[in-house]
Amino acid sequence: MDAHYKACLYAGIGISDVNGEVTLGQWEFQVGPVEGISTGDQVWVARYLLERITEISGVNVSFDPKPVPGDCATTA
């Protein structure tokens, strides 16, 4: 995730946060605030960078919001 964050900063992507999720190895990143419609463009470029970095690293990437069944936190 650090390599992706640094690549986004270097590319001028308005990445604002990176955080771990519930399941080990599951991360998310946020782009913005970015002015206007360029937010969508920056998200696509950030995803492209992530795909290239994971390809080089030999790691799988998924853009599914919940890639593992039952990985969401539940509240009682």
Residue 76 domain-assigned? no
Give the C-alpha separation, 35 to 58, whole Å. Answer: 34
Residue 10 domain-assigned? yes
pLDDT in tens, 41-70: 999 999 999 999 999 999 888 888 766 666
Count the domains in the chain. Answer: 1
Residue 64 domain-assigned? no
Q: The whole model's pTM is what? A: 0.79
Give the C-alpha separation, 6 to 12, whole Å. Answer: 10
Residue 48 domain-assigned? yes
Q: Which domain range does residue 48 map to? A: 2-57
Q: Which two tokens stand for residue 16?
A: 């604002």
Residue 73 domain-assigned? no
